[in-house]
Structure 1
Amino acid sequence: MTHRDTIERLIAQFGDQAAEAFLRAVDDIKNRVTLRVVVEKLERGDIPGAVEAIGLDPVAFERLESVLAEAYAAGGQAEVNNLPILRDPEGARVIFRFGTRNTIGEQELRQQSSELVTRIVEDQREAIRAALSDGLSEGRNPRSTALDVVGRVSRQTNRREGGVIGLTAPQERFVASARAELASGDPEALRHYLTRTRRDKRFDATVKKAIEAGKPVPADVATRIVGRYSDRLLELRGEIIARTETTGVLNKGREDAILQQVREGKVAAQAVKKGWRNARDRRVRDSHVVLHGQTVGLNESFISPATGAPIRYPGDPRAPASERVGCRCFLQMEVDYLASTVRRFRAEAA
């Protein structure tokens, strides 16, 4: 297995864990809601109170933060494991290790994770406020409005499904417009619903029947359709968060692992180059197609040809969202061991 294969395996492994942690956190929030309290707040027109009653607690996402910390450590360990066997002038083997305790990298990672959870929670607050406001302004009863937000209990799983908790504000707008299309009875609007990529196609026949009849989709069926659409958008949200953040922390861990060896005098900083490698398929951003194959120094950043933004590594949280969200690129560390070790160590022949 090549080093790139190892990193891609780690991204997939921790990406799956991060997505699961996000979805479990959302599920936990949904299923701890006291619906009665939310409905009572809405009956009084107290939308801020209803939002607070839902209980969007950042602590619910602690497991997600833990997964990202584990991915950071795994990325760094994989990088030091990839370093060659070196020996000092007396013949003793040079030991490369990656420590994550009380380092600048660990502190930055904690701050990034905290900011991620804050963004997730604030996204949800905005989405929930919009959904509750729409429900009241459209005259829907408070209980129905609350259920549209927190989801309805499935008879099969006894867990809440659907709703908008966990979605971004734009995703909540997608759900609201899908609901409006199904309830419209307008053939053009119903046809537009059928263009939605994340819809559950098992309901397409029902929607087509409504188009032919020029009538709305029956309310109970529309509720199920919108719930499935919402769940699939939530899965997408989890996938994007997982891929983006896992790529970032793994590459950060790898860069920090080399920086740690530099600080300990085991590798010379000037002997290290960072290379940008992309996934080489049609989904790669145009700017990252241009960056493929470029190299910079260990303490330098790549420069995006699209935005002019400096990017330390693929998934860099300091880079604009347009450069990092869903990025699948790969950081290749290139070390000139002859230049790095001639004064202190010698490389052991493979």
Structure 2
Amino acid sequence: MARKTAQQRRIEALLQRQSAAVRKAFLEAMRKATNAVDRDALIRLLEANEVERAAALFRLERGVAFPLEEAIRNAFIGGGMAVADDLPKGLSGAFGFDGRHPRAIALAERQAAALVTYVSDDAVSGARKIIVDGLSRNRSLNSVARDLVGRKVGRTRQGGIIGLTEPQTDRMIRLRSMLSDPEQISDYFKDADMKIPRYKESDRRFDAMVRKAIKSGKALPAADVDRIGDAYKSKASGNRAKVVARNEAFTAQAAGREEAYQQLLDDGKVEAVTKKWQHGFSKEPREDHLRMDGETIDFDEVFVMDDGARMRFPHDPAGGPEHSISCRCTCVYRVKLPRD
């Protein structure tokens, strides 16, 4: 296996700090968004069978996600400032990244806004599915509301669906269905020996309880289904926070570095810049990312992926999540100094 370059090591150290900050901000934003949902209004809308209006209560407001936007902005600026370590000595000391440049501000705001919209859409869609499923099963409105906004612990709520992806919400609904039905409960495990839960985000502490119910041919009581569902949501939301943190930090710092080299070109500090795609050390590498390894292009050109996606750099949002999530590729820049 090839050794990591000094630039890769610096980027990974930067990402470790930035990912932690983005993850903390993401979880805080989800907590605030959950607490902002008017539970009384939610119950009234459920009573009136106003599914769409009830689901709309879970749309995130931009202000709630402000700490997340700031964490992304800081990762963007950190990426831009880190470019100084990659420049020739004579240029390194003279370079100062302008994080207040209108283009830099717009890029950071666009990324944060896209994330908020993505999470918000998942929350509304997930809420709609839980409401429809709950009403169709004639569950109590309080039970449905608990699934949606969690339970009150002190002054805050825990265990709501805001922050879950749509597939995670689908699995939670399926989980409740299995555990509540004696004919389906055996599907909780994916193996005949009942050792491995079907969903990796299931809390293993409940395995013995579910095995006992399966052997007795009974479904679980509603209270136990709630406990298992809450535990699933907690683990699932934590997993999403990790993925979001890594991906958003990687995207922000990559965009910050690209912007830094653009500023160098704009200021005339360098004559030209080239960029090389450097494959990372992913456990499941994408074939086109492997093929791209070592490809070098001019700064104003784009990398063209097998599916036609055109990306300025690894983690460019233009490539979509299919080229960003869990990707560890980086861009290596080289500058050509002006002739005296």
Q: Give the TM-score, by structure 2 length.
A: 0.90
What one-letter code is carried by the residue in structure 2 that aligns with 1:325?
I
Change (3 A) 1:310 1:54: closer
Alignment match, 2:318: 318
Alignment match, 1:247: 250
Give the superposition deviation at 1:54.
5.0
What is the DSSP-based 3-state SS (H/G/I as helix, E as strand, rest coil) of the residue aligned with 1:333?
A: strand
Correspondences of 1:167-316 after superposition (within 5 Å): 167-185=164-182, 186-192=184-190, 194-269=197-272, 272-305=273-306, 307-316=307-316
Q: Which 10-residue stretch deviates more, 63-72 or 189-198?
A: 189-198
Alignment match, 2:193: none
Give the superposition deviation at 1:66.
0.7
What one-letter code is carried by the residue in structure 1 that aligns with 2:208?
A
Cα distance in 1 between the residues matched to 2:274 and 2:57: 51
Whether the 8 Å CA contact 1:190–1:211 is kept in 2: the answer is no
Cα distance in 1 between the residues matched to 2:111 and 2:214: 48
Give the superposition deviation at 1:98.
0.9
Deviations 1:147-175 (A, max 9, x none): 11111234xx6642223122122221111
What one-letter code is carried by the residue in structure 1 that aligns with 2:309?
A
Give the superposition deviation at 1:250.
0.5
Cα distance in 2 between the residues matched to 1:57 and 1:80: 36
Change (3 A) 1:110 1:33: closer
Give the superposition deviation at 1:317.
0.7
Cα distance in 1 between the residues matched to 2:279 and 2:100: 31
Structure 1 segments unaligned to the other structure (5+ residues):
88-92, 345-350
What is the DSSP-based 3-state SS (H/G/I as helix, E as strand, rest coil) of the residue aligned with 1:284?
A: coil
Give the superposition deviation at 1:176.
0.2
Matched, 1:72 2:76: yes
Cα distance in 2 between the residues matched to 1:187 and 1:123: 27
Give the superposition deviation at 1:18.
0.9
Give the superposition deviation at 1:37.
2.3
Whether the 8 Å CA contact 1:124–1:167 is kept in 2: the answer is yes
What is the DSSP-based 3-state SS (H/G/I as helix, E as strand, rest coil) of the residue aligned with 2:235?
A: helix
Deviations 1:191-240 (A, max 9, x none): 24812111111111111112211211232112111111111111122122
Cα distance in 2 between the residues matched to 1:94 and 1:36: 58
What one-letter code is carried by the residue in structure 1 that aligns with 2:189?
R
Alignment match, 2:144: 145
Whether the 8 Å CA contact 2:282–2:327 is kept in 1: the answer is no
What one-letter code is carried by the residue in structure 1 that aligns with 2:162?
I
Q: Report the number of matched residues.
A: 330
Cα distance in 1 between the residues matched to 2:289 and 2:303: 10
Structure 2 segments unaligned to the other structure (5+ residues):
191-195
Give the superposition deviation at 1:32.
3.5
Change (3 A) 1:115 1:187: closer
What one-letter code is carried by the residue in structure 2 that aligns with 1:66?
E
What one-letter code is carried by the residue in structure 2 that aligns with 1:209?
K
Cα distance in 2 between the residues matched to 1:287 and 1:275: 14
**CA RMSD, aligned part only?**
2.1
What one-letter code is carried by the residue in structure 2 that aligns with 1:204?
D
2:44 to 15, 27, 40: 40
Whether the 8 Å CA contact 1:273–1:298 is kept in 2: the answer is yes
Cα distance in 2 between the residues matched to 1:96 and 1:297: 21
Deviations 1:102-133 (A, max 9, x none): 33233233223222212221221111111112
Whether the 8 Å CA contact 1:251–1:315 is kept in 2: the answer is yes
- Percent identical: 31
Cα distance in 2 between the residues matched to 1:187 and 1:168: 24
Matched, 1:116 2:115: yes
What one-letter code is carried by the residue in structure 1 that aligns with 2:47?
E
Alignment match, 1:162: 159
Cα distance in 2 between the residues matched to 1:27 and 1:112: 21
Correspondences of 1:21-32 after superposition (within 5 Å): 21-32=25-36
Whether the 8 Å CA contact 1:34–1:54 is kept in 2: the answer is no
What is the DSSP-based 3-state SS (H/G/I as helix, E as strand, rest coil) of the residue aligned with 1:86?
A: helix
Change (3 A) 1:264 1:182: same
Larger Rg: 1
Alignment match, 1:348: none
